[in-house]
Each structure stands twice: as structure tokens, then as C-alpha cells.
């Protein structure tokens, strides 16, 4: 009876999503029954993966439609540590991050020679850096930040524990996507319901893209550096909005304080931690992180605005000192010096265009909704010129670096994973591409963006 009443209240889209989920689940049930009758159940004859995925996304879309952000943040946990059955096979760079985790938790260092010997029967390949003379060292080519983050979960709870940490980072990333997307609303007069709907669905579309979704299920660096960049972007956007409007109508919602451009303690601390962590997680995105903290320093007020910039500078410099002491070179590319088959070369037309159109690493396939950011570039540039310039320059630099990487054509990496930390910063652009919501009226000049009369105060009390 309750199901009947629910279906009566459901609209056409709800019924369509329920029908898709029902058909997919019925197909799985029919295939399983036929396999049991043939005595072939469990032998690989039942290929339920695609149908299970269709059913999952249909149910997830239905939940997000009615529960919003709360449903969206649960998805990384459902497809990660809570997914039934055996965890996915750990391949690619994943085991090498886990070896760093083991060394940190068991040996309290990041020298991996002994740890690789324990894995010899399962992992003959060794990702060990070479020094300036070409000799193999005991240090990984990967930065130790990801291994350190995964270490407690991997050591105490195994694969599911490590995946739980990734899922938590992905859930926090979803929240940052929603908050960041609010900056892309073309009209500050849009209703809260319209703003919430548009930003949540933008976050859902970015999360469902292969570049982001697959990274939330792998034990890699991309989801962590994406979270760090999203935090820096949220704080930078908050400071720029406060500079434009003079004060915030929602204090701390986007990182700005209610009294203008002075950072709150929470925002300053979050930006400082994110800036300090970025070089130790992934060096490729330090340029973009630097541009974002420059926005905070240039447009903010108070002494706290300089702290994220100082944290990034000290953290990056300390990592280069570590490279100099262990690998004999302070260069950011030191871990890959003399490394066979890897490194940076001059980009070609094929690799540059492949960054957008290649079927494995290109943005067109890895995150189609990210292309909507191009349509929102103009409207957002008028509202947030500093953020637009910083993200544009950072994306161009990262794109050229990815196109210069020798492993570009191997196809061994997670689909489009190099784009993962970049497409999350597209949330405001994608929201802005939707234009002005129906019925929204732009505020008159000098109205201060989204300020209410109570917050602006009567004349003479500013």
C-alpha cells in the first residue's frame, strides 16, 4: 500500500528511474536463475556487472533527487569499503602506495628496500627512484603523502580500511563541490531551492564522471590532491566574493568571514593544511595550488591571509631539500631521473590534442560534463576574474605537463585520472553555464551582490 502511494506521488522522472532499476535488477535475477538451472552459477557465466551498475546509478539518481547532498556523500562509501564481495584487485601504482604505508606504520620510515623484498612474490616491479649517478635508491618515485594518509586504514583494517579513507576524502570532496558550485550562480537573487538543486546536480554529474568516480575507488593520489585543491579554491572564491560584495550574506559558507575579506580561523586552517599537504601528495598540481593561495594573499585581509602561502612555500621547499639529500638533486623531477621508460619529453600535437580527445585520457571521455565549463567561462569571468584566471592558467600548465609525460600512450592508468584534480575546480563554471535561473532578477548596481538589508545595515552604521 505504501509503495502504491509512493508511486502515485512520483513524477515521470521518478517512475523512469524506478523502471530502469527494476529492469536491470530483473535482468540480473533472470540470468542468475538460468545459471543455477544450468549448474553454472559462480563460474563466470553470469555477467551482472553492467546491469548492476545501471541499477545502482538509477537508484542513486533517485536518492540524490529527493535527499540531495546527504545521498550524494554516501555514494563513495557504498561503492568503496561497503561494496559486497572481495575488494577490487590492486594494480598499477596502488600497491606501491601501500608499500609506503607499510613502511611508515611498521618501520617508521620511507626506505622501501626491505618492504619490497617482503612483496617480491606478489610484486616483482619496484618503483624505486635513482640518484644523480643512476644508482637505485631505497626511496619511492612517488611522494609519500598518499601512503601516509592511507597508512592507518591499511595497517589496521586492510583493503577496506584504506578504501574507507579514500571514501571519506571523496565525501568531503563532494561537499566542497557543492559549496564551490554556489559561486557559479549567475544571479545572487536565485532562490535557495534553485541554488541547492543546481549545485547538488552539478556535484553529482562531476562525481559520476569516469575521471572522478573511478578515482574514488582506487588507492591513488588524485582524490586527495583534488580535495586539497577544492579547499583552496573554496577559500579563494570566498575571499574574492567578499572583496566584490564587501561582506558575506552567509558567513563561512564559502570560506569568507562576515566582516569582509578577513579569513576566519577555520578557513585559514583548512587552506593552510591543504596548501602544506599538496606538494607531498602530488607535485604536478603545485602550480595551481600556488595560484590559489596567491589569490587568498592578494585579496584577503589580516595576517592569516599569508599563512597558506607560507605553508605551501615551506612545504615545497622542504620536499626539494629531501630530494637533494636522498636523490642528489633538488629538482622537482628528481624521483624520475634516470628512471627507465619514464620522464618528461617535449609535448607533440598528438599528445596535446589527446589530452582532450583521446578515448582513455581525454577530457571529452573522462569527464564530458567538464566541457560545459567552457560555456560558463565568460559569465564566471565577469563575477570572479581572479579565480577564472588562476584556474585557466593552472589547467593549461597541468595539461602541458600531462602531454609531456612519456607514459601518456600506455593506457595503464585509471581513465583520465590526470584530469581528476582539475575537473573538480570546474564546478563554478558548470553552474554558471546554466545561466540565470528563471524568475531571478539581478540586483541593482551597488546592492552588494547577495546582501540582505539587515546585513547591510542602515546608512551610517557601516
Reply yes or no on whether the pLDDT at 462 is more than 60.
no
**Spatial contact of 216 and 158, defined as CB atoms under 8 Å apart:** no
Please check the confidence at residue 171 and state whether its pLDDT lies above 60: yes
Largest CA distance in the chain: 84
| Distance set, CA 5 to CA 9, 10, 11, 67, 131 (Å) | 6, 9, 12, 19, 69
Q: Tell whether 58 is covered by a domain.
A: yes
Full 3-state SS string of 287-323: HHHHHHHHHHHHHCECHHHHHHHHHHHHHHHHHHHHH
The region of weakest confidence among 179-183, 244-248, 250-254, 372-376 is 250-254
Q: What pLDDT does 77 receive?
A: 87
Q: How far apart are CA 54 and CA 216, in angstroms?
A: 18
Output the pLDDT for position 389.
Answer: 92
Residue 261, pLDDT above cutoff 80: no
Does residue 215 fall inside a structural domain?
yes
- pLDDT confidence of residue 35: 52
Q: What distance lies between CA 133 and its chain's CA centroid?
A: 37
pLDDT of residue 137: 85
Residue 330 confidence (pLDDT) = 86
Q: Is residue 317 part of a domain?
A: yes
Would residue 286 count as lying in a domain?
A: yes
Give the angle subtended at the CA of 146 by the CAs of 287 and 406, to the nearest 5°: 60
In a domain, 78, yes or no: no
- 63 and 149 part of one domain: no
Q: What percent of the chain has pLDDT over 70?
A: 68
Question: DSSP state, 121?
Answer: T
Q: Which range, 64-68, 73-77, 410-414, is most confident?
A: 73-77
Q: Return the pLDDT at 193.
A: 73
Same domain, 194 and 289: yes
The model's confidence at residue 260, banded by pLDDT at 50, 70 and 90, is very low
Mean pLDDT of 60-65: 62
Backbone φ/ψ region at 362: left (φ over 0), alpha (ψ -120 to 50), beta: beta
d(CA 118, CA 388): 48
The pLDDT value recorded for residue 149 is: 95
pLDDT at position 6 is 47
Q: Per-residue pLDDT for 15 more than 50?
A: yes
Do 150 and 296 sit in the same domain of this protein?
yes
Confidence of residue 254 (pLDDT cuts 50, 70, 90): very low
Tell me the C-alpha distance between 144 and 140, whole Å: 8
Q: Residue 33's domain spans which residues?
A: 9-40+48-67
Confidence of residue 402 (pLDDT cuts 50, 70, 90): confident
- pLDDT confidence tier of residue 118, bands split at 50, 70 and 90: confident
- Region 280-309: mean pLDDT is 90
Higher pLDDT, 392 or 79: 392
pTM above 0.75, yes or no: yes
Give CA–CA dist 293/20, Å, rounded: 45
Element (H, E) at 420: helix 420-423
pLDDT value of residue 69 = 75
Is the model's pLDDT at 237 over the cut of 70? Answer: yes
Residue 447 counted as domain residue: no
Same domain? For 205 and 305 the reply is yes
Let me know: does 427 contact 184? Beta carbons within 8 Å. yes
pLDDT above 70: residue 435: no
The average pLDDT across 13-29 equals 56
Q: What is the pLDDT of residue 407?
A: 62
| Residues 413 and 265 grouped into a single domain | yes
Q: Does the pLDDT value for residue 437 go beyond 60?
A: no
Average pLDDT, the chain: 75
pLDDT value at residue 47 = 54
Say which residue, 304 or 360, is predicted with more confidence.
304
Give dist(CA 41, CA 32) in Å, integer: 7
Mean pLDDT of 264-282: 92
Q: Are 62 and 163 in the same domain?
A: no
Q: Which residues pair with 344 in a beta bridge?
A: 405
Report whether pLDDT(385) > 70. Answer: yes
pLDDT of residue 191 exceeding 90 = no
Which cell is 322 given?
Answer: 629531501
Is residue 430 pLDDT above 50, yes or no? Answer: yes
pLDDT, average across residues 307-321 = 94
As a whole number, mean pLDDT of residues 58-74 equals 69
* Residues 60 and 151 reside in one and the same domain: no
Query: Considering only 86-95, 268-277, 377-386, which range has the smallest mean pLDDT?
Result: 86-95
Q: Which three cell numbers stand for residue 213?
A: 568516480
251 and 396 in a single domain? The answer is yes
pLDDT at 459 over 60: no
Q: How many structural domains does the chain have?
A: 2
For residues 299 and 184, membership in a common domain is answered with: yes
> What average pLDDT score do residues 133-155 get?
89
Confidence of residue 383 (pLDDT cuts 50, 70, 90): confident
Look up cell 557559479; give the residue: 184
Q: What is the pLDDT of residue 124?
A: 65
**Residue 454, pLDDT score:** 37
**Does the residue 80 lie in any domain?**
no
Quick one: pLDDT at residue 96? 87
Model confidence over 321-360: pLDDT tens digits? 999 988 888 888 888 777 766 666 677 777 778 777 777 7
- Report the pLDDT value the prediction gives residue 344, as an integer from 0 to 100: 63
Does the pLDDT value for residue 29 go beyond 60? no
Confirm whether 383 is domain-assigned: yes
Residues 408-420, mean pLDDT to the nearest whole number: 62
Task: Kindly state the cell numbers that stand for 193.
Answer: 531551492
- Residues 345 and 197 reside in one and the same domain: yes
What 3-state class would DSSP assign to 157?
Answer: helix
Amino acid at each position: 500500500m505504501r509503495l502504491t502511494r509512493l508511486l502515485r506521488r512520483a513524477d515521470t522522472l521518478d517512475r523512469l528511474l524506478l523502471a530502469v532499476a527494476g529492469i536491470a535488477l530483473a535482468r540480473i535475477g533472470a540470468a542468475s536463475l538460468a545459471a543455477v538451472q544450468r549448474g553454472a552459477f559462480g563460474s563466470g557465466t553470469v555477467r551482472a556487472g553492467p546491469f548492476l551498475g545501471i541499477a545502482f546509478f538509477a537508484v542513486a539518481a533517485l536518492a540524490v533527487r529527493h535527499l540531495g547532498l546527504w545521498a550524494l556523500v554516501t555514494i563513495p562509501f557504498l561503492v568503496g569499503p561497503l561494496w559486497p564481495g572481495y575488494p577490487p584487485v590492486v594494480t598499477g601504482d596502488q600497491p606501491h602506495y601501500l608499500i609506503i604505508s607499510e613502511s611508515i606504520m611498521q618501520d617508521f620510515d620511507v626506505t622501501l628496500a626491505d618492504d619490497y623484498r617482503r612483496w617480491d612474490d606478489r610484486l616483482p616491479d619496484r618503483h624505486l627512484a635513482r640518484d644523480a649517478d643512476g644508482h637505485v635508491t631505497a626511496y619511492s618515485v612517488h611522494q609519500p603523502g598518499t601512503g601516509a594518509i592511507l597508512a592507518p586504514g591499511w595497517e589496521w583494517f586492510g583493503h577496506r580500511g584504506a578504501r574507507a579513507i579514500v571514501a571519506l576524502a571523496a565525501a568531503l570532496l563532494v561537499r566542497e563541490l557543492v559549496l564551490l558550485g554556489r559561486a557559479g550562480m549567475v544571479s545572487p537573487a536565485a532562490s535557495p531551492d534553485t541554488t541547492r538543486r543546481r549545485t547538488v546536480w552539478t556535484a553529482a554529474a562531476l562525481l559520476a564522471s569516469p575521471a572522478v568516480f573511478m578515482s574514488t575507488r582506487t588507492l591513488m593520489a588524485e582524490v586527495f590532491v583534488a580535495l586539497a585543491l577544492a579547499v583552496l579554491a573554496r577559500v579563494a572564491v570566498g575571499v574574492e566574493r567578499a572583496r566584490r560584495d564587501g561582506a558575506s550574506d552567509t558567513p563561512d559558507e564559502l570560506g569568507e568571514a562576515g566582516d569582509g575579506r578577513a579569513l576566519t580561523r577555520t578557513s585559514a586552517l583548512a587552506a593552510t593544511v591543504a596548501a602544506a599537504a599538496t606538494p607531498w601528495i602530488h607535485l604536478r598540481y603545485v602550480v595551481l595550488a600556488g595560484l590559489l593561495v596567491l589569490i587568498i594573499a592578494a585579496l584577503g585581509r589580516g595576517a592569516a591571509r599569508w599563512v597558506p602561502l607560507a605553508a605551501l612555500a615551506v612545504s615545497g621547499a622542504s620536499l626539494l631539500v629531501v630530494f637533494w639529500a636522498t636523490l642528489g638533486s633538488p629538482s622537482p623531477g628528481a624521483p624520475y631521473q634516470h628512471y627507465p621508460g619514464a620522464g618528461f619529453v617535449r609535448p607533440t600535437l598528438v599528445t596535446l590534442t589527446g589530452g582532450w580527445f583521446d578515448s582513455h585520457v581525454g577530457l571529452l571521455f573522462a569527464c564530458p560534463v567538464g566541457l560545459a565549463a567552457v560555456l560558463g567561462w565568460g559569465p564566471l569571468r565577469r563575477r570572479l576574474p581572479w579565480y577564472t584566471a588562476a584556474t585557466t592558467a593552472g589547467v593549461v600548465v597541468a595539461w602541458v605537463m600531462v602531454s609531456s609525460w612519456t607514459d601518456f600512450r600506455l593506457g595503464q592508468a585509471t581513465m583520465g585520472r590526470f584530469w581528476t584534480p582539475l575537473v573538480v575546480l570546474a564546478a563554478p563554471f558548470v553552474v554558471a553555464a546554466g545561466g540565470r535561473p528563471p524568475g531571478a532578477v539581478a540586483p541593482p548596481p551597488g546592492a552588494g551582490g547577495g546582501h540582505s538589508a539587515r546585513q547591510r545595515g542602515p546608512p551610517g552604521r557601516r
